Structure 1
């Protein structure tokens, strides 16, 4: 089986390499914004569109006269940026036809979108990587890359540089997992309640560091704009955001890998997470637990390890249905955590009962 797999490592560049990395990121950002501005102007003037190749040829002509500084970086950086822009427009128009809400491409900002992608002659050694026009850059850990390298994406997170290799890897067809099927009901009181009665708590890093985050944000807002102290304050704030994200990702990867390797079938509800984030009272808590990322990781890991992911319909009444007799209640407010069935008298934990019903959903399809 052929799959695409990413390998991500932290770079250890010297001062001159850091400057060159920043130039590549700036050039890619400039090409993206230049291409977006040209597309908007062309449509407003002539009601026409263009594509990445046409814009790349036009940009190459301008290099000789207006943008000679672009010769300092690899040609792949602006070229791949224009391809990303082309893909963003295709996704936007595809979403319009399908009735989905996919935003119009936006201009990129310095310090927020500092990344670029390279193709071509990319070599990876034990603790170093060789990239076009950048030369050999040390890695902070030993590499273990398998398969054919398709591209390398270099990105900056706060004060660190990372490289992500997109590789085409041939893996043996996974053998089916012979573990039990499991229904999982995700929630806010517990991250996940399983059909076997197990409840998994989420780390909730945003809630844990919220007080410190507010203090740093307030401290940052008081600094004078353009001052060195404001830059230092922004760095501290960004580092805390990175720590919060890393804690959430670490928990998510460990949990999804264990489930995909040990459960033959995993049943989740097809939740409208984007719509639920519109709730002003619960949006921060929902974003903190990361339901969307949980589903995304299970989607590809179940394919890798031989298990199956099943999605119950969005309006499947898993919480309102008695798992013993099948009686369905008329309503179930979020405040009710435990309830008794009016038909058979069975006592239920709301989340575990929903997980049991999700597990039964697989049997109803068989």
Structure 2
């Protein structure tokens, strides 16, 4: 059955290629890729909470991360092994998630490095920096790996040590982001974020490692599907919207605001914390976009013109739609 499933996956890959939805299929690396085998309903037995795969004499010894939903049975089982040599079993079940109780709260998020996210309420969530904490351990394991002869058994053991350190970092980061995203979705009916181009931000050689450790893309992915699950609204505003340079008091856009400036004073006398001000502007822009049903265009005026600029201007979807 796993061999047949591999052929079905290959057929899907070629279908996406010929439909110009993906590139030409490539071979999976046995060392770098996650090895997996997919079993359909005819190739496993699920009885009394015990899983037995085809051609096995007894059930698998499974350490459950969480119980299956009540009244559901798995339709597909995937057995996989990661680079660190750990085995996992994932179940595909048909289940419905009840929407969370409605609330009127809304929150804007400003992503950062020192503070992972800053909320429009003024709260700053500290960045745990999991990779930085284990950087010395990772460097030591990589030095030991570089000394081992290629193709030897000792090199494979050293490679597993490096993979375990990477797995520890990824697991801790994923756990933190899951808890943070779940909390935000439960507390707020509307969540507003920026459309960050992380791929372009990683071209900054000074901040690339810190940006990768923050994992903003993974946080956005978690917020997207959890908002869809629990009946929340996720609003993504334009990446060119000047959230940090825009004064939330008078609407003036500062001409320049370097990254090392964390607190700045507007011409109107308002003193802004850079991140908190950005989060509040993101929330205001997101609520305007949500009310008009369209995106947010960036500011066109700046303080150099001597005129106050409008905070946000949603794009018109039709000719008869009013612009705020």
State whether TM-score is above 0.5: yes
* 1:112 and 2:32 correspond: yes
Picking from 298, 313, 331, the partner of 2:256 is 331
- In the other structure, the counterpart of 2:2 is 77
State how 1:115-264 maps to structure 2 within 5 Å. 115-121=36-42, 122-125=44-47, 128-134=50-56, 136-141=59-64, 144-146=67-69, 147-157=72-82, 158-172=84-98, 174-264=99-189
Cα drift, residue 126 of structure 1? 5.8
Cα drift, residue 82 of structure 1? 2.5
2:244 is paired with a residue whose SS is coil
- In the other structure, the counterpart of 1:308 is 233
Change (3 A) 1:86 1:349: farther
- Cα-to-partner distance string for 1:17-70 (whole Å, 9 max, x where unaligned): xxxxxxxxxxxxxxxxxxxxxxxxxxxxxxxxxxxxxxxxxxxxxxxxxxxxxx
Change (3 A) 1:275 1:124: farther
User: Using the alignment, how far apart are the partners of 1:124 and 1:271 within structure 2?
Assistant: 44
Cα drift, residue 205 of structure 1? 1.1
1:191 is paired with a residue whose SS is strand
Deviant stretches of 4+, over 6 Å: none
Unaligned stretches of 5+ in structure 1?
1-75
User: Using the alignment, how far apart are the partners of 1:190 and 1:89 within structure 2?
Assistant: 43
Question: Which one has more relative contact order, counting CA pairs under 8 Å at least 6 apart?
Answer: 1
Change (3 A) 1:216 1:123: same
User: Using the alignment, how far apart are the partners of 2:23 and 2:202 within structure 1?
Assistant: 17
Change (3 A) 1:126 1:240: farther
1:328 is paired with a residue whose SS is coil
Cα drift, residue 179 of structure 1? 4.6
- Cα-to-partner distance string for 1:216-237 (whole Å, 9 max, x where unaligned): 1111010112222212111111
- Cα-to-partner distance string for 1:119-145 (whole Å, 9 max, x where unaligned): 123444566312233452121237621
Cα drift, residue 333 of structure 1? 2.5
User: Using the alignment, how far apart are the partners of 2:258 and 2:8 within structure 1?
Assistant: 47
- Cα-to-partner distance string for 1:162-202 (whole Å, 9 max, x where unaligned): 01112221234x15531510000011121000001100012
1:294 is paired with a residue whose SS is helix
Picking from 259, 262, 276, the partner of 1:352 is 276
User: Using the alignment, how far apart are the partners of 1:362 and 1:227 within structure 2?
Assistant: 56
Change (3 A) 1:316 1:125: farther
Change (3 A) 1:335 1:232: same
CA RMSD of superposed structures (Å): 2.1
Picking from 208, 219, 236, the partner of 1:294 is 219
More helix by share: 1
- In the other structure, the counterpart of 2:244 is 319
Aligned residues: 284
- Cα-to-partner distance string for 1:62-115 (whole Å, 9 max, x where unaligned): xxxxxxxxxxxxxx2122222323333444566x57xxxx65433212233311
